[in-house]
């Protein structure tokens, strides 16, 4: 069954006036049907239009052979999209709560999803509905698994999902957190209560809890990659080691899936040829002068994009932040959609991706 929205709803979704939407219809750039004095716009074509830089399309969203109807959750309508704007020369960025926004994306769309969600109780992203500020650990895990189950729906059957997530410790009884050394305003000012069954000072293992919950939910867990940070933040701890790594989990939607091993092979240290990439990646963190929080480095994202997709494929980041995935996708000629709740970060992401010129993805096809 097709799903339609009105010109007003389409205007809100695209962030333009209704007159502009009528113009798109007149130019046959947007598929619509006449209904009384108004037009009803094919909602999937609208999404396609937004995702492809408002190029001339006039065709419905391409159905995947595995897709039942090529549509997404029918209960959520376009009018709920707060702000979805395809940059003229960059990725589509959708400003909103990813739990709601992702439900509106069509199933079996993205070849590869790469993301780094907020960690539990660590950083304050300054928005009421942010994930990561739940007092109860189970609520945090539940929120992420809910989003990742939608990620599985929008991923193509042969797609992969790359999840970067770090572990955290219980508070040790303190209700407050020391200020972020790099950015005093951004650390979560309180520490969540110690989860039931854990003790003061316990390493929570939340990264693995999320990974296991995803596995239970149906994902194939294929790799746990250690992101080793040679330039990690020093810690003033006296009774444990300084943490210098995070996890990057690779999941697949199906038992067999697309994986370009050749694109990420690495050289043997003695120079004698190439070998499969290993599961420990030593990559320095990369500062982002525009953003107020730690973005993940492009060198962490590149192998995921290269192994998980081909040129022209669509990549998604449901926790887009300052748009690092968009930058790498542009550089490697992939389309990208990002979802981000904080409109300030949306602006930063747009600026960062608008600096890269000559992107393949907005050429007419």
Ligand X SMILES: C[S@@+](CC[C@H](N)C(=O)[O-])C[C@H]1O[C@@H](n2cnc3c(N)ncnc32)[C@H](O)[C@@H]1O
User: Residue 338 is encoded by which pair of tokens?
Assistant: 């990002």
Q: How far is CA 127 from CA 13, 102, 117, 142, in A?
A: 21, 18, 14, 19
- The closest residue (CB) to ligand X is 321
**DSSP-derived secondary structure letter, 155:** E
Smaller CB distance to ligand X: residue 98 or 170?
A: 98
CB of 20 to ligand X, least distance (A): 27
Alpha helices (H) along the chain: 7-14, 18-26, 43-51, 98-101, 137-154, 206-217, 298-308, 324-331, 343-354
According to CB under 6 A, which residues from 283 to 312 bind ligand X? 295-296
Number of residues lying near ligand X (CB under 6 A)? 22
- What CA dihedral angle connects 296, 302, 307 and 308, to 10 degrees? 60
Q: Residue 233 CB: number of other CB atoms within 10 A?
A: 13
Per-residue mark of binding to ligand X, 72-111 (x: CB under 6 A): -------------------------xxx------------
Residue with tokens 């909602």: 43
CB of 350 to ligand X, least distance (A): 12
The answer for residues whose C-beta is within 8 angstroms of residue 142's C-beta and 6 or more apart is none
CB of 336 to ligand X, least distance (A): 12
CB of 69 to ligand X, least distance (A): 26
- Residue 343, φ and ψ in degrees, nearest 5: -65, -25
CB of 225 to ligand X, least distance (A): 16
According to CB under 6 A, which residues from 310 to 339 bind ligand X? 319, 321-324, 339
CB of 96 to ligand X, least distance (A): 7
If one asks whether residue 130 binds ligand X (CB under 6 A), the answer comes out as yes
Q: Residue 9 CB: number of other CB atoms within 10 A?
A: 21
If one asks whether residue 359 binds ligand X (CB under 6 A), the answer comes out as no
If one asks whether residue 116 binds ligand X (CB under 6 A), the answer comes out as yes
Smaller CB distance to ligand X: residue 14 or 147?
A: 147
The answer for residues whose C-beta is within 8 angstroms of residue 73's C-beta and 6 or more apart is 103, 104
If one asks whether residue 214 binds ligand X (CB under 6 A), the answer comes out as no
Q: Residue 205 CB: number of other CB atoms within 10 A?
A: 13
Smaller CB distance to ligand X: residue 49 or 162?
A: 162
Stretch that binds ligand X, among 5-13, 53-61, 127-135, 199-207 (CB under 6 A): 127-135
**Secondary structure (3-state) at 221:** strand
Q: Which residues bind ligand X (CB under 6 A)?
A: 97-99, 116-118, 125, 129-131, 295-296, 319, 321-324, 339-342, 345
């Amino acid at each position: 069954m097709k799903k339609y929205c009105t010109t007003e709803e389409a205007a809100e979704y695209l962030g333009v006036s209704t007159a502009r939407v009528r113009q798109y219809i007149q130019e046959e750039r947007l598929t619509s049907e006449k209904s009384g004095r108004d037009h009803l716009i094919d909602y999937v074509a609208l999404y396609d239009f937004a995702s492809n830089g408002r190029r001339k399309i006039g065709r419905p969203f391409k159905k995947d052979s595995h897709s039942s109807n090529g549509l997404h959750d029918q209960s959520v309508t376009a009018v709920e999209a707060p702000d979805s704007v395809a940059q003229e020369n960059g990725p589509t960025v959708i400003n909103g709560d990813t739990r709601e926004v992702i439900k509106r994306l069509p199933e079996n769309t993205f070849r590869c999803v790469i993301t780094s969600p907020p960690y539990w109780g660590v950083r304050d992203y300054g928005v009421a509905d942010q994930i990561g500020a739940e007092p109860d650990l189970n609520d945090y895990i539940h929120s992420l698994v809910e989003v990742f189950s939608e990620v599985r729906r929008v991923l193509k059957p042969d797609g992969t999902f790359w999840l970067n997530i770090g572990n955290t410790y219980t508070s040790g009884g303190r209700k407050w957190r020391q200020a972020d050394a790099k950015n005093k305003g951004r650390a979560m000012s309180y520490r969540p209560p110690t989860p039931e069954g854990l003790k003061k000072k316990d390493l929570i293992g939340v990264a693995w809890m999320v990974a296991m919950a995803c596995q239970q939910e149906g994902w194939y867990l294929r790799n746990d990659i250690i992101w080793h940070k040679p330039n990690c933040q020093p810690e003033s701890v006296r009774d444990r080691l300084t943490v210098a790594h995070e996890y990057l989990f690779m999941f697949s939607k199906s038992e067999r899936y697309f994986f370009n091993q050749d694109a990420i092979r690495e050289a043997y240290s003695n120079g004698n040829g190439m070998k499969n990439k290993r599961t420990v990646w030593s990559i320095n963190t990369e500062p982002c002068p525009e953003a107020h929080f730690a973005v993940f480095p492009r060198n962490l994202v590149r192998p995921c994009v290269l192994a998980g997709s081909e040129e022209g494929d669509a990549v998604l980041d449901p926790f887009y932040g300052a748009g690092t995935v968009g930058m790498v996708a542009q550089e490697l000629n992939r389309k990208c959609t990002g979802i981000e709740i904080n409109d300030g970060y949306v602006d930063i992401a747009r600026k960062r991706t608008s600096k890269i010129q000559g992107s393949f993805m907005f050429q007419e096809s």
